[in-house]
């Protein structure tokens, strides 16, 4: 979480500085990604299906423009098993895209840059090389291009291409074959939901009021319970009311 804050803090400060008088939206994001390696040496790379999910912050600007920052968990890599000619791993990144969007009649296009920090690398097969020969770059720089559609409720679907700008492996030889030039490449399909921060406040207030009413009702019920119990016990301890005396039988008349 500390790393997320360090990466997002400069972006949030930039957006908050530019946000005076503008509409700010928060959002949730999730989807899938088809990833592989590209580059002159990526001869054995195969597509890998991964996931992406996270949060977004959008600043709406005049003329249909918007500035959007995201904090995402993103899976990259490929399904290859030939080291040096494929990534041969699933690579998990904390990705922070910064995008410029243009919206018109529900449609939007976007483009920008993305910084990724490598969280974990998981081999597709047990490693057969020394770890020093399979060192990955901890940083991943990308360009981003995409398009999508957003309806009036704040739900949007989109397509995005994320292309790597730096090699996946750190400089050095791999099994004496020389440096392999492999970069990440990913096609993402995603679903977003954006909302205004005040909606969260309204929902929180409404939830708090509901909880407050429920708690107050429970307190009142608890407060009334001893008195009600006492009245029930008192009614049970009262002696039963005497039965009415039978009516006197009238005397028999002489014949």
Note whether 187 and 209 are within 8 A (CB).
no
Q: In which element (H, E) is residue 193 found?
A: strand 183-195
pTM of the complete model beyond 0.85: no
- Token pair of 53, please? 């999910």
Tens-digit pLDDT profile for residues 140-188: 999 999 999 999 999 999 999 999 999 998 876 554 455 678 999 999 9
Give the right CATH number for 2-195 from 2.40.160.20, 3.40.50.720, 3.40.50.10310, 3.30.390.50: 2.40.160.20
Q: Where are the domains of the chain?
A: 2-195, 197-230
Tens-digit pLDDT profile for residues 210-226: 566 666 665 665 666 66
| Interior angle at CA 164, CA 129 and CA 107, nearest 5 | 145
DSSP 224: H
Considering only CA atoms, give the Rg of the chain: 34
| pLDDT beneath 70, residues of the chain | 1-21, 82-84, 127-134, 172-179, 199-255
Task: Please report, for the chain, how many H helices and E strands are present, in that order.
Answer: 2, 8
Return the closest-CA partner of residue 161 out of 194, 116, 121, 112: 112
Q: What is the pLDDT of residue 200?
A: 64
Q: What is the pLDDT of residue 126?
A: 76
Q: What is the pLDDT of residue 96?
A: 98
């Amino acid at each position: 979480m500390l790393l997320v804050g360090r990466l997002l803090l400069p972006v949030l400060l930039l957006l908050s500085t530019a946000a005076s008088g503008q509409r700010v939206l928060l959002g949730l994001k999730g989807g899938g990604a088809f990833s592989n390696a590209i580059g002159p040496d990526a001869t054995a790379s195969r597509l890998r299906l991964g996931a992406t999910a996270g949060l977004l912050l959008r600043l709406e600007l005049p003329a249909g423009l918007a500035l959007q920052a995201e904090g995402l968990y993103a899976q990259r890599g490929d399904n290859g098993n030939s080291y040096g000619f494929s990534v041969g791993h699933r690579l998990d990144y904390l990705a922070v895209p910064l995008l410029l969007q243009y919206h018109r009649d529900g449609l939007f296009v976007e483009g920008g840059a993305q910084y990724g920090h490598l969280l974990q690398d998981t081999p597709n097969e047990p490693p057969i090389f020394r770890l020093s020969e399979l060192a990955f770059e901890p940083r991943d720089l990308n360009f981003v291009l995409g398009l999508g559609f957003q309806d009036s409720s704040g739900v949007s679907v989109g397509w995005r291409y994320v292309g790597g700008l730096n090699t996946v492996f750190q400089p050095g030889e791999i099994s004496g074959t020389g440096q392999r030039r492999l970069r990440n490449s990913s096609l993402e399909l995603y679903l977003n939901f954006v909302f205004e921060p005040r909606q969260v406040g309204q929902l929180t207030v409404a939830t708090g009021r509901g909880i407050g009413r429920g708690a107050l009702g429970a307190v009142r019920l608890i407060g009334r319970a001893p008195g009600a119990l006492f009245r029930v016990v008192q009614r049970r301890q009262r002696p039963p009311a005497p039965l009415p005396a039978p009516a006197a039988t009238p005397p028999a008349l002489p014949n």
